[in-house]
Chains A and B, each alone.
Chain A
Amino acid sequence: MSAPGPAPRRATAPGGSVIPLAAPLMEASGLTYSVRGRRLVDDARLVIREGRRTVILGPNGAGKSLVLRLMHGLITPTAGRVDWRGAPLDKAARRAQAMVFQRPVLLRRSVRANLAFALAVRGVARAARRPAIATALERARLTHLQSQPARVLSGGEQQRLALARALMTGPELLFLDEPTASLDPASTLAIETLIEEASAAGVTVVLVTHDRGQAERLADDVVFLQSGRVAEHGPASRLLSAPASEPLRAWLSGRLYVEAEKSSRIDI
């Protein structure tokens, strides 16, 4: 856990650097987000390798959603930086990203129209939308529901639609905030399959989850967040089998880990 103030941070990957020399797709450093003096995200460093699947783990309120929104440029960090291909995240970079929110935000329109909207926003001509929508519907197994109002779909179908819409714009990187949090195994499998297909097609994936099994199935890299700080960051193969930090060890073994309240986290 990083100490507050100017003291040198502990290495993000205990046990030696695991980050390859190739420039990462995204890199956040010193990432901090404070609200009324509370450091909700505290000096976090994340490295997102291109074409890989990074899974962000951590207890409720650890700051996982905030980290996603900071990296996606939806909110501005209080301190620190977010880089995309070595340069500060800008509008063009944001357009190369897509995000599926924890609770899917679907328009009050048909399933089809929700997909068409994403294309219209990106200026895709009407004639070119039709085949793209047909493909997306098929892939998400929503073709038979295409004329239904999006908001009457089941939770799993809504999440598939949100994911299909996010992929409509052809993102290089996809953020997913607990996309299967309240879904049954069949719906979870459908979502994970879509994620794996996108990943196989070259999309870099950053996924927040509560589900250890999902992390084991999907993760190349793991980031463990605790109280807004990165407790551990490295390849899934090592972190999930030999965690170095106490919070991750506790989390993996199913123990209840409750961190003592730290007064040092309150900015003055």
Chain B
Amino acid sequence: MDLGHAIIGAFGLVLSGDPDLTEIIGLSLSVTLSAVIAACVIGLPLGAAVGAFRFPGRTVCAVILNAFMGLPPVVVGLVVYLMLSASGPLGVLGLLYTPTAMVIAQTILVTPIVAALTRQVVEDLNAEYAEQFASLGVSPLARAGALLWDGRYSLLTVALAGFGRAIAEVGAVIIVGGNINHVTRVMTTTIALETSKGNLELALALGVVLLTIALIVNAMVMAVRALAARAAYA
């Protein structure tokens, strides 16, 4: 099959709503969304705590969070694999090669991103608000909550950045998911497999979808920024 046919075939697959394609896209989105939600549940309070409170080891925490932003996905995949494999400490849960395993791996990858960027947002806001909050007598917990709320536009772009990173990620999910047809095949792993098999049509179709999603995410980031600027919330 030549490239021209492959491209035409790819658009055919996308436009016809091919069921295999739809399934793969659906799993990609649900795994990534779950991971981003989990990462926000952990990362937002964590980042807020490091950004807003003074405690011993605070700087070390910030440095670690920043360093973990660049965790190599294959290493994360390997560690999660070892934890979940039959002989691993969490082997009894039988999670290896399930979408849940992929969610766990992606959560580990995205949480430091969310936490580190949240810390920066919250710390900057805190520098601006600290004296006013002290004057009003705001309690520490209420302060963290107020800082998160006032950083909501920036934090939305943080979550979108996490989503963008997770949906394009391949190394970790292929190790812990195993790329099993109809079970754990997501866009990136399918592209890797189908390309190696020479099935460029499906690989290209998924590539187009992935690119489109990346474009949409970026457009959303820009829209959020524009909204924030209009309300002088930047």
Contact = CB atoms under 8 A, between A and B. Distances in A.
A38 interface: no
A149 B142 contact: no
A70 B150 CA distance: 28
A79 interface: no
A105 B231 contact: no
B220 interface: no
Interface stretch (B51-59, B81-89, B124-132, B163-171): B124-132
B135 A74 contact: yes
Nearest to B143: A121
B231 A98 contact: no
A95 interface: yes
Contacts of A98: 135-136
Contacts of B153: 108
Contacts of A149: 231-233
Most chain B C-beta atoms within 10 Å of own C-beta, residue among A94, A97, A107 = A107
B4 interface: no
Interface of A: 69, 72, 74, 91, 94-95, 97-99, 101, 105, 107-109, 117-118, 120-122, 149, 151-152, 169
A101 B150 contact: no
B128 A94 contact: no
Contacts of B231: 108, 149, 151-152
Given A95-B137, A121-B136, A122-B137, A107 B146 contact: yes
B232 A152 contact: yes
Nearest to A153: B232
A118 B136 contact: yes
B138 interface: yes
Contacts of A117: 136, 146
A66 to B, nearest CB: 12
B134 interface: yes
A152 B229 CA distance: 10
A97 B117 CA distance: 35
Given A105-B131, A108-B150, A121 B138 contact: yes
Interface of B: 128-129, 131-132, 134-139, 142, 146, 149-153, 231-233
Contacts of A95: 137
Nearest to B135: A99
Interface of B is mostly: helix
A17 to B, nearest CB: 32
27 contacts: A69-B131, A74-B131, A74-B134, A91-B137, A94-B137, A98-B135, A98-B136, A99-B135, A101-B132, A105-B128, A105-B129, A105-B132, A107-B129, A107-B146, A107-B150, A108-B150, A108-B151, A109-B149, A117-B146, A121-B142, A122-B137, A149-B231, A149-B232, A149-B233, A151-B231, A151-B232, A152-B231
Nearest to A148: B231
B131 A121 contact: no
A228 B136 CA distance: 26
Contacts of A108: 150-153, 231-233
Contacts of A107: 129, 146, 150
A101 B131 contact: yes
Contacts of B131: 69, 74, 101, 105
Contacts of B142: 120-121
B185 to A, nearest CB: 42
Contacts of B132: 101, 105
Contacts of B233: 108, 149, 151
Contacts of B139: 121
Closest 9 CB pairs of A and B: A151-B232, A149-B231, A105-B132, A108-B233, A108-B150, A99-B135, A152-B232, A121-B136, A121-B138
B224 to A, nearest CB: 13
A75 to B, nearest CB: 9
A151 B151 CA distance: 14
Given A74-B135, A94-B137, A152-B231, 10 more contacts: A72-B135, A74-B134, A101-B135, A105-B128, A105-B132, A107-B129, A107-B146, A108-B150, A108-B233, A169-B136
Contacts of B137: 91, 94-95, 121-122
Contacts of B150: 107-109
Nearest to A110: B231
Contacts of B149: 109
A90 B39 CA distance: 41
B147 to A, nearest CB: 10
A121 B134 CA distance: 11
